[in-house]
């Protein structure tokens, strides 16, 4: 009997993934990852649940209850040091550089499909499994059947080698069917809401949370079209390109959008109106490429944000980068975010947006 070590998060997806693996005849072992320590880094007043414990401990208790019910052993492993070193430090450095990072992508690359895999091998794993909505067929990474839950965007930095012995048991299921199975088994996680926020850190008041690590540096908010000072920002790290809500600048009827940052002068640039041209780019330079297929495509589609519809693009392969062209124009392509490539159902891989351009020239305000 083949042995599978599954990452048990305390959520409904990994719970049902474990059930399916059992049904498929595997010997299933659960492994819970603890990646964040609220007390160790000075965050003494982190969030708690209604029961008065921190969310991560509640997740562990839920994972234990599910494993006990299914007759699965559950191990627990701390990756707090590794998460800080490989994921959270990256997150902070990117914010300081004025970019908008995606820590969940790096968590998959360095923790869930690297450190976790190493620990699973110690437990004798033939395969590792997770509750991601994605599929692997004939060596290709495919989108999850439930397009609203598809998580291949977040798997785009996981290498082909890392994916070799990975199983995604719920990748061909709809979320409603996952919950239905959990209810049939009367699992404690059946009606538990999906986790949101930063990977393993959870839901926070983002601005207050960041103050623990990066002190706010207030500065001017400037209308990029007129040069007029229209308000004050609380620190450039708290804003992203295309942001409209949470700017807290009153006295204007038109909608206001973040269009750029000047780190040297500590200026946040905004523009009024949804039809402003400052949010539109026609190409971007992408580095940190993780490509999963043999043949390098010259045309495909791409996502520049998780919830975005696919955009037709042309790829110009450079030495260590890719120039991604979309002459039709796309709004709010943002440095630091992932650019993920697709060919129909196949996720081709992706990289990190280094520079945003319009008509072949770098946008100075980004």
Q: Look at residue 334 and give its three-state secondary structure.
A: coil
Q: Which of 54, 67, 199, 347 is catalytic?
A: 199
Contacts of 284 (CB under 8 A, 6+ apart): 304, 323, 324, 333, 339, 353, 354, 355, 356, 357
DSSP letters along 24-72, please? TT-EEEEEEEE---TTTTT-TT----TTSS-HHHHHHHHHHHHHHHHT-
Q: Is 107 a catalytic residue?
A: yes
d(Cα 38, Cα 223) in Å, to the nearest integer? 39
Contacts of 263 (CB under 8 A, 6+ apart): 97, 98, 236
d(Cα 108, Cα 79) in Å, to the nearest integer? 13
d(Cα 34, Cα 319) in Å, to the nearest integer? 38
Q: Which of 54, 67, 107, 339 is catalytic?
A: 107
Closest CA to 150 of 128, 181, 175, 169: 175
The angle formed by the CA atoms of residues 208, 104 and 120, to the nearest 5 degrees, is 125
> Radius of gyration (Cα) for the chain, nearest Å?
22
DSSP E strand stretches across the chain: 3-7, 27-34, 74-78, 127-129, 134-137, 140-143, 166-167, 219-223, 229-233, 256-262, 267-272, 280-291, 299-303, 311-317, 322-331, 338-343, 346-358, 361-362
Catalytically annotated residues? 107, 199
């Amino acid at each position: 009997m083949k042995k599978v070590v599954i990452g048990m998060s305390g959520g409904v997806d990994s719970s049902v993934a474990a059930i399916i693996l059992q049904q498929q005849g595997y010997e299933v072992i659960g492994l819970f990852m603890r990646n964040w320590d609220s007390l160790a880094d000075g965050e003494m007043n982190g969030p708690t649940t209604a029961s008065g414990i921190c969310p991560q401990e509640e997740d562990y208790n839920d994972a234990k209850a599910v494993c006990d019910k299914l007759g699965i052993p559950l191990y627990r492993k701390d990756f707090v040091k590794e998460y800080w070193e490989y994921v959270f430090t990256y997150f902070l450095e990117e914010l300081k550089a004025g970019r908008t990072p995606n820590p969940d992508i790096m968590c998959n690359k360095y923790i869930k499909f690297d450190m976790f895999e190493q620990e699973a091998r110690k437990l004798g794993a033939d395969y590792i499994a997770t509750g991601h909505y994605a599929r692997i067929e004939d060596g290709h990474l495919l989108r999850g059947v439930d397009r609203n839950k598809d998580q291949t965007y977040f798997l785009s930095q996981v290498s082909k080698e890392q994916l070799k012995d990975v199983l995604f048991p719920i990748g061909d299921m709809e979320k409603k069917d996952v919950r239905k199975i959990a209810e049939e088994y009367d699992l404690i996680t059946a009606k538990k809401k999906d986790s949101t926020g930063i990977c393993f850190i959870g839901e926070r008041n983002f601005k207050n949370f960041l103050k623990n690590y990066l002190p706010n540096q207030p500065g001017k908010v400037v209308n990029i079209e007129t040069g007029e000072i229209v308000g004050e920002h609380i620190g450039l790290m708290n804003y992203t390109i295309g942001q409209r809500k949470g700017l807290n600048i009153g006295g204007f009827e038109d909608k206001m959008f973040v269009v750029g940052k000047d780190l040297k002068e500590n200026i946040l640039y905004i523009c009024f109106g949804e039809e402003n041209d400052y949010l539109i780019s026609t190409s971007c330079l992408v580095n940190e490429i993780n490509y999963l297929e043999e043949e390098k495509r010259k045309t495909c589609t791409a996502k520049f944000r998780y919830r975005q519809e696919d955009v037709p693009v042309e790829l110009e392969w450079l030495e260590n980068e890719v120039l991604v062209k979309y002459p039709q124009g796309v709004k709010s392509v943002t440095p630091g975010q992932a650019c993920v490539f697709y060919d129909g159902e196949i996720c081709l891989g992706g990289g990190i947006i280094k520079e945003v351009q319009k008509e072949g020239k770098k946008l100075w305000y980004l």
